[in-house]
Amino acid sequence: MKIVFSMILSMFVTDGVFGVDPDGVKTVIEGGSLTLQTDFIEMQKDGLTEWKVNNTNIATINKGTGKVEYSDDILMMMFSGRLNLDHTGFLTIWNIRIKHSGEYKVESISSVGTKSKTFKVIVKESPLKSVEDKDEIKVLSATKGNSETLHTETELQEHDLILWRFGAEGSLIAKSDTEDSHTLFYDGDDGRFRGRLEMDSKTGSLTITDLETEHTGEFRLKIYSDRRIVFKRFTVTVSASGLSPGAVAGICIFILLIAAAAAGVVIYFQSDHYKAKKLMSKISKQLEKMTKISKQLEQMTKTSDKEMAKFSEKLKKLNEADVNENIKSKISANLKQM
């Protein structure tokens, strides 16, 4: 029995898993790219090279003319522009997803004969923990209880896979795939992000609401697109909303200074108002005197020299009352003209 089991195991090791050569087993993480290639298709000078997935044709190249044709059936919708078959016959799948897992077979038919090879492609989900340091860190400060948005500064494309991670271990906290408009949020190891995460469907920007000091740390963004990968890192520091004793003391001193200044202004205006009131009273009295003088001037043309003498006497008294020099000069000029 042991001999039979050993023979079967040997067959599996020799022929590969499910008939696939062990070298043909390809494992890739979702969002990544994968190129399938063999030596014999690269050396082929004529004939056709055909690629299939799960026994269904997806792409063919005529090595003589270099013309490439892609299948236009329902299966191609699954790849949606992610395939690239170059002039060598190598097949590349960009921005790969779990649904692209399967058996890929290449068959070469040329003047030298027919050759083929099968690949087992396994696409795995993004790991819950991953650390990548490939971009500059943007430093942000936030206050406990508020919200903070980490901006991607990009517009999402049709097949983008967005991954947000947190902490030194790179714990996955948010994941979105624009292809199926599906977004997942993860609470974190200790549940610190439960119910606090929001993602913008157009940009992939992440908002953390109702911040706590435990949300202080490094956030990492990775966006897989059909022809590019975007990396960003953010360091967020969340401070308590309460003020330190020193800050409170500073505010108190500032308020006292404002109060003192306000009191000074009140006292100034009160004092200034008193002076203004006194000055207005004095001016009012002077105007009353000037009114009387004006009336008297109107009668002067009809008065005698005796009355003019009396008026001069009144003018002297007005001098003693500090009448404005300009007014006195005008009055004197008028008297001379008379």
Same domain, 193 and 104: no
Q: In the structure, what pLDDT confidence band is assigned to residue 272 with cuts at 50, 70 and 90?
A: low
Q: In the structure, what pLDDT confidence band is assigned to residue 279 with cuts at 50, 70 and 90?
A: low
Same domain, 255 and 329: yes
Residue 220 resides in a domain: yes
Choose the final residue of a domain: 212, 239, 266: 239
Question: pLDDT digit string (tens) for 10-34?
Answer: 333 333 333 455 568 999 999 999 9
Same domain, 205 and 252: no
Residue 300 resides in a domain: yes
Query: For residues 321 and 198, what is the distance between their CA atoms, to the nearest angstrom?
Result: 83
For the segment 114-133, the average pLDDT, to the nearest whole number, is 88
Same domain, 144 and 233: yes
Q: 160 near 258, Cβ under 8 Å?
A: no
Pairing label, strands 171-177, 161-166: antiparallel
Whether the predicted pLDDT of 255 surpasses 80: no
For the segment 125-143, the average pLDDT, to the nearest whole number, is 83
Q: CATH code at 158?
A: 2.60.40.10
Same domain, 91 and 161: no
For the segment 203-217, the average pLDDT, to the nearest whole number, is 96
Query: For residues 60 and 89, what is the distance between their CA atoms, to the nearest angstrom?
Result: 8
CA distances in angstroms from 80 to 85, 96, 158, 183, 310, listed in the order given: 14, 11, 10, 20, 116
| pLDDT of amino acid 285 | 62
Whether the predicted pLDDT of 251 surpasses 60: no
Number of structural domains found in the chain = 3
Choose the final residue of a domain: 206, 239, 272: 239
Q: In the structure, what pLDDT confidence band is assigned to residue 314 with cuts at 50, 70 and 90?
A: low
Question: pLDDT digit string (tens) for 211-226?
Answer: 999 999 999 999 998 8
Residue 129 resides in a domain: no
Question: pLDDT digit string (tens) for 27-86?
Answer: 999 999 999 988 776 667 788 899 999 988 999 998 888 899 888 666 677 888 888 998
Give the predicted TM-score (pTM) of the model.
0.57
